[in-house]
């Protein structure tokens, strides 16, 4: 089926069902209403659900979303939803940006104009990009895969086909979270098509070759490995569950919007750079638009299961393997544990490694201007 325009249209029946479920929400007891020590704060969820029921207007959000240039394509049997905004400039560079969990294509909404029309925001028109933002299979408006075996590695293959359908034989890639893994697989398996890869996260599953014939692990690298282990022990239960038994969790999240919201907002609260009040960085309308996309998609099982697929297809490199595609990394201070530059340089040609002044895991959502500046700076010398 050819590429076609897409309009998001949630039915009245879906909205009525959601509100019935919100009205019937039953929240758990708690020892401390506003504490996040045991997980999502009950007080926060109460406020969020109250806003969702009484103030949040999905139709307003839907109208805003439908102002974005949305499309749908059938790529190797998989329906893929994506944004495609052409750049304003003398020679825009094609760039594909991939989101992760618990985000969506909406993370890139404020980033999109900063990259496609930089002159409008005080930048150089020569830095413009043609930007493609796909929804991962089973996320947002992309239907769930109909077969097992679709990991970040296979998604990279789909992105190559999608970009080819759009007429882009050579392009840049950018991503964070799962999108970083997809972008690294693009560079690993499709290097001739890549001008460069820019990341705002390096997945913890990335493992360069180690051993007797490799350089010894440095003190900084050992410190990173210990921080990864500590993170897994104290904050990694969600990933262990996603990566092993996603179906069990999916029963609860597919049935309860309150449960879904609590599962998602815990990560926004933990991973975003905020002064103790998440709403100052991610307003309720923004947060609920993302959560609602997960709810309305009906694909929560698929979004969780991608962790299991990635666990079965780890980003592990063999001895002697080196990726020639230029790599740039922006390190935001509230990001999950990030390795030292030497860890990435064991495999990749790292050409830019920049520490950012503020921001967290959801960089495009939290600090779109800073991220846009970094993306433009990294790709500037790679333009031809």
**pLDDT band at residue 212 under the 50/70/90 scheme:** confident
Residue 25 belongs to some domain of the structure:
no
Number of residues assigned to the chain: 384
DSSP designation for 92: P
How do strand 70-75 and strand 78-85 relate by DSSP bridges?
A: antiparallel
Which of 146 and 105 is assigned the larger pLDDT?
105
Residue 269 CA: distances (Å) to CA of 37, 173, 192, 370: 12, 27, 39, 21
Tell me whether residue 68 is exposed, middle or buried, using C-beta atoms within 10 angstroms of its C-beta: 0 to 12, 13 to 18, 19 or more.
middle
Within a domain: 5: no
Cis bond leading into 102, ω under 30°?
yes
Asked if the structure places residue 132 within a domain, the reply is yes
Region 302-314 average pLDDT = 97
- Tell whether 44 is covered by a domain: no
Res 1 pLDDT > 80: no
pLDDT, tens digit (0-9, with 9 covering 90-100), for 20-52: 999 999 999 999 999 999 999 999 999 999 999
Domain that holds residue 205: 52-382
- State the catalytic residues: 177, 307, 361
What does the block give as tokens for 116? Answer: 């496609």
Q: Which residues contact 211 (CB under 8 A, 6 or more apart)?
A: 319
Structure tokens at 277: 């009040």
How many domains are there within the chain? 1
Whether residue 294 is predicted with pLDDT greater than 80 in this model: the reply is yes
Q: pLDDT tens for residues 78-135?
A: 999 999 999 999 999 999 999 999 999 999 999 999 999 999 999 999 999 999 999 9
Structure-block tokens of residue 285: 């309308």
For residue 110, is it within any domain? yes
* Helix axes 284-297 and 300-312, enclosed angle (nearest 10): 80
Asked whether the predicted pLDDT for residue 206 surpasses 90, the reply is yes
**Average pLDDT taken over every residue of the chain:** 97
pLDDT in tens, 44-71: 999 999 999 999 999 999 999 999 999 9
Residue 282: inside a domain: yes
Which stretches does DSSP call E strand in 135-255? Answer: 171-175, 194-199
DSSP-based three-state secondary structure for 66: coil
Coil, strand, or helix at residue 273?
A: coil
Domain-located, residue 224: yes
**By C-alpha distance, which of 154, 160, 90 is closest to 132?**
160
CATH code of the domain in which 61 resides: 3.40.50.1820
Distance CA 89, CA 126 (A): 6
pLDDT tens digits, residue range 270-293?
999 999 999 999 999 999 999 999
pLDDT at 198: 98
Inside any domain, residue 297: yes
3-class SS at 24? coil
pTM of the full predicted structure? 0.97
Closest CA relative to residue 169, chosen from 160, 178, 158: 160
């Amino acid at each position: 089926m050819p590429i076609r325009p897409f309009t998001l249209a949630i039915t009245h029946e879906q909205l009525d069902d959601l509100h019935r479920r919100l009205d019937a929400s039953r929240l758990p007891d708690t020892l401390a209403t506003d504490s996040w020590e045991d997980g999502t704060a009950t007080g926060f969820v109460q406020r969020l659900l109250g806003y969702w029921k009484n103030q949040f207007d999905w139709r307003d959000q839907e109208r805003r979303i439908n102002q974005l240039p949305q499309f749908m394509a059938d790529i190797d049997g998989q329906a893929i939803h994506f944004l495609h905004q052409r750049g304003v400039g003398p020679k825009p560079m094609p760039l594909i940006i991939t989101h992760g969990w618990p985000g969506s294509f909406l993370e890139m909404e404020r980033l999109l104009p900063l990259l496609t029309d930089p002159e409008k925001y005080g930048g150089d028109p020569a830095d413009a990009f043609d930007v493609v933002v796909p929804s991962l299979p089973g996320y947002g408006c992309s239907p769930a895969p109909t077969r097992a075996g679709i990991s970040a590695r296979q998604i990279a293959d789909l992105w190559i086909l999608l970009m080819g359908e759009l007429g882009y034989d050579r392009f840049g890639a950018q991503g964070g979270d799962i999108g970083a893994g997809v972008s690294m697989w693009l560079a690993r398996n499709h290097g001739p098509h890549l001008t460069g890869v820019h990341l705002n996260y390096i997945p913890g599953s990335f493992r360069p070759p180690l051993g007797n014939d490799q350089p010894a692990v440095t003190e900084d690298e050992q410190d990173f490995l210990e921080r990864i282990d500590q993170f897994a022990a104290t904050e990694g239960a969600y990933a262990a569950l996603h990566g092993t038994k996603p179906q069990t969790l999916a029963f609860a999240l597919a049935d309860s919007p309150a449960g879904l919201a609590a599962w998602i907002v815990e990560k926004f609260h933990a991973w975003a750079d905020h002064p103790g009040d998440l709403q100052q960085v991610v307003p309720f309308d923004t947060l609920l638009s993302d959560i609602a996309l997960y709810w309305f998609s009906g694909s929560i099982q698929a979004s969780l299961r991608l962790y299991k697929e990635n666990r079965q297809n780890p980003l592990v490199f063999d001895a002697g393997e080196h990726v020639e595609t230029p790599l740039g990394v922006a390190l935001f201070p509230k990001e999950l544990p990030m390795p030292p530059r030497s860890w990435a340089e064991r495999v990749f040609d790292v050409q830019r490694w920049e520490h950012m002044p503020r921001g967290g895991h959801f960089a495009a959502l939290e600090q779109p201007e800073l991220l846009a500046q970094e993306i433009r700076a990294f790709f500037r010398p790679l333009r031809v």
